[in-house]
DNA sequence: GCTTGAGATTGATAAATATCAAAATAAAGT
DNA sequence: ACTTTATTTTGATATTTATCAATCTCAAGC
């Protein structure tokens, strides 16, 4: 992890958090005074689960995986994070510990802002507080969906959903680079890496996708969607 | 569902939401003017998933189950709710729909407060907004824990955790009434009712618990805890 | 006290999924 | 170009868990 400083000021940066639009010029300047940037290489850890959640972290560029470290060294990837995502987690307001870890997938540039400053502004700027509530709600909403996905669908459905997630939410294309290993794909869909391999093979054989270990191309989006719903 | 009105005013009621302590006398009076009470019999639905989330609902007395209606009629019980819990869900700030359903287990008294009023006060009272954030965070925190529990533990562990949840969080006793059927216990731990029966039998046989369909007594809390961690 | 129906239980079986071990590739470093 | 290391893949097998079909139990209503 090495440091650099590319952004002259928050005021001219549009890569951060949409909720910062609710800040006054003065408040934004306070943020600007209390931030620092850092860069991370692939696989470096940006946030470590369990450590004190002293900073709100925003990705400025690059892609990272957000995951929980569970029982006996097993991970659960919650989602991928890209530019303009607030990374902090609900632990901040519960026990001041990060509830998840975040690791860089590509080279990542991130902005660290002390949570004390954020908390202070939440207490003074209701619009900002509402934006914060909306962010929390949105994440909780997704968690509710995810818990159903993981508990009620079979492997085919979970994997199909993950493949569509990459296409729709991350890459906005049906032909994309697979940034996760089969192991990690398994950690995201709660299945063994061998099962990931086998089902990817099946999907390929049925001409629903075309894939290599490092790329995916969705050929039959309709069918993939049906599998993700019914599966 | 029949109506009654037991509480003369929010000002004299201590059974509602702790976050209301952050309100001024005037704000509390606004809440008081805009609330109405309702009672529910066992098994009656208090909140229906997917319907417009127009009200924040607080239980005043009784016990309810909070659950998501998933795929092909399968439910997932998230938790039990009792007095002083805010029931609304993250959908309120996302798509204005309840993301979960809530059904009365015992006879339930509840207070309905229009969300417009709540939202207005959030925008005017930062302390209240922070309280709201803490409530959301706490629930998200639990969801993070729950998703690990459901995906990474085997049946024994999940069931053990549920039994401890009742003892520790709901009844504050190791000898309690089992308010859920085996079917519902399965919906809470993501397992078939037959599996619940079998594992309850095993736990009983190993003298870790003593149980009837309507009661549970934890005999060996240590062992039960180990199972819930390792399982 | 008899009937009835919802839940609880049991045993047998099938389905879903993980694990293990080995071989085949691919990637990275020197 | 050559090791070395990590990932992917495959097949065989074990484990976990659900499903199905009966049977049983017990409390509520008549």
Question: What are B83-104's pLDDT values in tens digits?
Answer: 989 999 999 999 999 999 999 9
Sign of CA dihedral B113, B34, B92, A136: negative
Q: Dihedral of the CA atoms B21, B25, B29, B32 (nearest 10)?
A: 20
Domain with CATH 1.10.10.10 in chain A: 153-230
In this complex, which of A74, A89, A141 lies closest to B94 when CB atoms are compared?
A141
Question: Is the CB of B136 less than 8 angstroms away from the CB of A134?
Answer: no
What is the pTM (predicted TM-score) of this model?
0.95
Asked if the A153-230 domain carries CATH number 3.40.1350.10, the reply is no
Q: Which residues pair with B216 in a beta bridge?
A: B176, B211
Q: DSSP assignment, residue A170?
A: I
CATH 2.60.120.10 placement within chain A: 10-137
Whether residue B69 contacts residue B51, with contact meaning beta carbons closer than 8 Å, is answered with no
Of B99, B133, B190, which has the smallest distance from its Cβ to A132's Cβ?
B133
Rounded-to-integer distance, Cα B179 and Cα A79, Å: 36
Residue A37 exposure: Cα atoms within 13 Å on the Cβ side: 18
Say what the pLDDT of residue B5 is: 56
Taking contacts as CB-CB distances below 8 angstroms, the residues of chain B near A132 are 133
Nearest to A191 by CA among A218, A153, A220: A153
Domain A10-137 belongs to what architecture? Answer: Sandwich (2.60)
Instruction: Read off the tokens for A80.
Output: 């991928």
The percent of residues in chain A predicted with pLDDT above 70, rounded, is: 98
Distance from CA of A158 to the nearest CA of B (A): 13
Judged by CB atoms closer than 8 Å, whether chains meet at A137 and B99 is answered as no
Residues sharing a CB contact under 8 Å with residue A200, sequence separation 6 or more, in sequence order: A159, A182, A209, A211
**pLDDT beyond 60 at A1:** no
CA gap A82, A73 in Å, rounded: 25
Provide the sign of the torsion angle of the four alpha carbons A104, A173, A209, A225, taken in this order: positive
Predicted pLDDT of residue A43: 94
Q: State the best of A69, A73, A147 to mutate against chain B, taking most chain B CBs within 10 Å.
A: A147
Could you tell me if A210 and A132 are in contact, meaning their C-beta atoms sit under 8 angstroms apart?
Answer: no
- In the predicted structure, residue B214 carries a pLDDT above the cut 80: yes
In contact, B135 and A136? CB cutoff 8 Å: no
| Mode of pairing for the β-strands spanning B64-69 and B101-104 | antiparallel
A193 touches strand D (CB under 7 A): yes
The C-alpha atoms of residue A24 and residue A121 are separated, in whole angstroms, by: 10
Interface subset of A 54-73, CB within 8 angstroms of B: 68, 70-71
- Stretch 156-215 of chain A: residues touching chain B, C-beta under 8 Å: 190
Q: Residue holding tokens 């805890």? A: B225
Q: Can you tell me the distance from the alpha carbon of B68 to that of A107, in angstroms, rounded to the nearest whole number?
A: 38
Would you state the pLDDT for residue B1? 43
Q: Does B127 touch chain A (CB under 8 A)?
A: yes
Q: What percent of chain A has pLDDT over 90?
A: 92
Q: Is A96 on the interface with B (CB under 8 A)?
A: no
Q: How far apart are CA A197 and CA B194, in angstroms?
A: 32
User: CATH 2.60.120.10: which residues of chain B?
Assistant: 10-130
Model pLDDT, residue A5 = 56
Query: In this complex, is the C-beta atom of B141 within 8 Å of any C-beta atom belonging to chain A?
Result: yes
- What is the pLDDT averaged over residues B121-132? 95
Q: Which residues of A touch B125 (CB under 8 A)?
A: 126
Mean pLDDT of chain B: 95
Chain C nucleotides close to protein (CB under 7 A) are 7-12, 16-21, 26-27
Exposure b/e, A119-140, CB count within 10 A at least 16 = b: bebbeebbebbbbbbbbbbebb
The two three-digit tokens of residue A60, written as one number = 């400025």
Q: In this model, does residue A206 exceed pLDDT 60?
A: yes
Please give the CATH number for the structural domain made up of B151-230.
1.10.10.10
* pLDDT greater than 80 at residue B4: no
Distances (CA, A) of B184 to A133, B65, B80, B193: 32, 10, 11, 8
User: What fold, for B10-130?
Assistant: Jelly Rolls (2.60.120)
Is residue A133 less than 8 Å (CB to CB) from chain B? yes
Q: How many CB atoms sit inside 10 A of residue A37's CB?
A: 15
B139/A93 Cβ within 8 A = no
């Amino acid at each position: 992890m090495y440091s650099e400083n590319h952004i002259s000021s928050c005021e001219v940066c549009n890569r951060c958090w949409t909720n910062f639009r609710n800040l006054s010029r003065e408040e934004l300047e306070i943020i600007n005074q209390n931030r620092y940037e850092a860069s991370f290489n692939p696989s470096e850890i940006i946030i470590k689960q369990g450590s004190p959640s002293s900073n709100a972290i925003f990705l400025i560029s690059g892609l990272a995986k957000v995951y929980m470290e569970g029982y006996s060294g097993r991970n659960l990837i919650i989602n991928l994070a890209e530019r303009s995502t607030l990374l902090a987690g609900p632990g901040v307001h519960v026990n001041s510990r990060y509830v998840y870890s975040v690791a860089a997938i590509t080279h990542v540039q991130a902005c660290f802002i002390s949570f004390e400053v954020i908390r202070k502004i939440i207490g003074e700027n209701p619009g900002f507080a509402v934006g914060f509530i909306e962010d929390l709600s949105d994440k909780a909403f997704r968690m509710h969906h995810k818990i159903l996905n993981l508990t009620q669908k079979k492997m085919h459905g979970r994997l199909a959903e993950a493949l569509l997630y990459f296409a729709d939410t991350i890459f906005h294309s049906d032909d994309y680079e697979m940034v996760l290993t089969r192991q990690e794909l398994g950690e995201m869909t709660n299945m063994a890496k061998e099962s990931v391999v086998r089902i990817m093979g099946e999907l390929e054989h049925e001409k629903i996708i075309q894939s290599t270990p490092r790329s995916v191309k969705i050929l039959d989006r309709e069918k993939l969607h049906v599998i993700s719903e019914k599966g």
